[in-house]
A and B are shown apart, each in its own frame.
Chain A
Amino acid sequence: MEFTFSRFFKFIVALIIIIVTGWLLYQLSSIITVVIIAVLLAYILDPLTSSLESRGISRTLSTIIIFLLIGVVFLGLSGYFIPLLIDEINQIQRSIESGQSSQYFERLETFIQEKIPLISADDLDIHGRITKALAALTDSFFMVLGSVVSLVTTLVVIPFAVFFLLKDGPVMTKTLIGMVPNRYFEMALNILHKTDLQLGAYLRGQSIDAFIVGVLSITALWLLDVKYFIMIGIFAGFANLIPYVGPLVGGGAAVLVVLMNGGSGMDVMMVVGAFLLIQLIDNVIIQPLVVAKSVDMHPLVVIFAVIIGGQFFGILGMLLAVPVTGIVKVSVSELYKGIRRYNMI
């Protein structure tokens, strides 16, 4: 192969395309978040649509039924939970603003200073830090949602996208596959099928797992009479999507709330015990049953994925980082295996 002008030209064009694509991806990152969420939701709901379809209902009608069901459940839950949730958020805000919680932090600070004399009071300022962190947390959460034109648009676009992905998903995949050249057609079909099988199992498993852990946490915190039990429970469920760090953060949030409300050491022990028990149930019973082992990821990979996700998309990015990494891992490994099987490398 000799160096010619046309090869150089092709190289430059390819380079420009890569740079432009990268720039576009970066600019469209908020839309990409919406697309990722929509695809994940569609993936999770797909078996429901298929099972309705198997009862002789058309795919369109199945999708509509599922949407109606979700709508009813959502409205019912929000009728009960949203006022409670808003109440909880208001309470948290009030307790931070009124300085009610600061008393406890002062106690905690003096306790730490007694034990570790090297640390000065200025270095600690736990209350200030936590208030700042909480503010940053809510900011970043709303920034992610807010940057997608607006929250309302997101709430309209996601269900809209999920609806059509569910209804026309099989046709879309068939059309995409139809564009693959004959030589690579069967290989593409094979890789897509394998990836689909693994990903479906993985994503559904993860969401069921998060749901169960959320429900267990809410129940446990409610039994222990912890304030804001719904919010912490939901948070713990979502946090459970992030391996290793998630359960710690979820439990940590609960302990923090107990401490902020002047709970005793016994209360903290009970909450910690409850979270340990939930983790035990999760690891011994739920995970082996519902979570696909095929998408095992190395702890280091998980941690870095979470950090990178947080860097680019904030809290939402941290939550989505693990499933997205799972998708990338499965796709790449299946692509590699497929290419090997078809003797292309």
Chain B
Amino acid sequence: MDEDSYWTNIFKKKEKTEQDIYTVLSKIPIFRSLTNRELRAVERILHRRNYKPNETVFHENEPGMGMYIIASGKVYISAGVDNKVLAVLSNGDFFGEMALLLETPRTATAAAHEQTQLLGFFQPDLFSLLQTKPKTGNKILLHLAQMIAERLKHSTIENRHLKNKLTELETKKKPVKVR
């Protein structure tokens, strides 16, 4: 499959059928280890949005406010001028979680592939959770930090690997130049 490694890394795809919303939530890494009561509190502040087939969730380069969790349906993640599909996500998957911490432009476009229900979790929701239910908010924040750290580790390793490759190529190239 022609999918960007960055995205496949993040979204380990699993085959899922229609599931109870709490089961979906409890499998999301940032909501891991939340008690049932905390999950209910989180579920209450999530925004339920319904999308028609081919409806855009967000466009690339638009400012992002938070993440979406797929409750049902499928979402295409694409990027670039040619709208190259990077990943197809299905229920239980999530995307856009970087925007929870950093209000940066979206790095890709997300669009519903079929009738899709998404659960939105946004920066203001996270902030208000930190204020009103600090314990729950902190758990989520910690998991978010762990997830980002994990990804940073991957990038660092990949970066080092690429650097090594580059120096290897450069040393191979030099003798050619001398001749």
A contacts, CB < 8 Å to B: 50-51, 53-54, 59, 170, 174, 177-178, 182-183, 185-186, 189-190, 192-193, 196, 341-343
A-B contacts, 12 listed (Cβ < 8 Å): A50-B132, A54-B131, A54-B132, A59-B132, A170-B128, A174-B45, A182-B51, A182-B56, A186-B65, A189-B124, A190-B63, A193-B123
Chain A contact residues: helix, strand, loop or mixed:
helix
Question: What would 12 more interface pairs be, CB under 8 Å, given A182-B51, A182-B55?
Answer: A50-B132, A51-B131, A54-B132, A170-B128, A174-B45, A177-B47, A178-B47, A185-B49, A189-B122, A193-B123, A193-B124, A341-B63
Minimum distance in angstroms from A173 CB to a CB of chain B: 9
B contacts, CB < 8 Å to A: 45, 47-49, 51, 55-58, 62-65, 120, 122-124, 128, 131-134
When the two chains form the complex, which single residue of A54, A186, A193, A341 contacts B58, counting CB atoms closer than 8 Å? A186
Minimum distance in angstroms from B116 CB to a CB of chain A: 11
Minimum distance in angstroms from B31 CB to a CB of chain A: 19
Minimum distance in angstroms from B83 CB to a CB of chain A: 17
Minimum distance in angstroms from A288 CB to a CB of chain B: 25
Minimum distance in angstroms from B119 CB to a CB of chain A: 12
* Number of residue pairs spanning A and B whose beta carbons lie under 8 angstroms apart: 51
Chain B contact residues: helix, strand, loop or mixed:
mixed
Question: How many angstroms from the CA of A54 to the CA of B62 in the assembled complex?
Answer: 33
| Known A182-B55, A186-B58: A53·B133 in contact at CB below 8 Å | yes
Chain B residues within an 8 Å CB radius of A50: 128, 131-132
Nearest residue in B to A62 (C-beta to C-beta)? B132
Chain B residues within an 8 Å CB radius of A53: 131-133
Chain B residues within an 8 Å CB radius of A185: 47, 49, 120
Question: How many angstroms from the CA of A51 to the CA of B57 in the assembled complex?
Answer: 34
**Is the CB–CB distance between A54 and B133 below 8 Å?**
yes
When the two chains form the complex, which single residue of B49, B63, B64 contacts A182, counting CB atoms closer than 8 Å? B49
Question: How many angstroms from the CA of A179 to the CA of B56 in the assembled complex?
Answer: 17
Chain B residues within an 8 Å CB radius of A182: 49, 51, 55-57
When the two chains form the complex, which single residue of A174, A196, A343 contacts B62, counting CB atoms closer than 8 Å? A343
Chain B residues within an 8 Å CB radius of A342: 62-63
Chain A residues within an 8 Å CB radius of B47: 174, 177-178, 185, 189
Nearest residue in A to B106 (C-beta to C-beta)? A186
7 pairs of A and B residues whose beta carbons are closest in the complex = A193-B124, A53-B132, A341-B63, A50-B131, A186-B65, A190-B65, A50-B132
Minimum distance in angstroms from A226 CB to a CB of chain B: 43
Chain B residues within an 8 Å CB radius of A192: 124
Nearest residue in A to B62 (C-beta to C-beta)? A342
Nearest residue in B to A196 (C-beta to C-beta)? B124
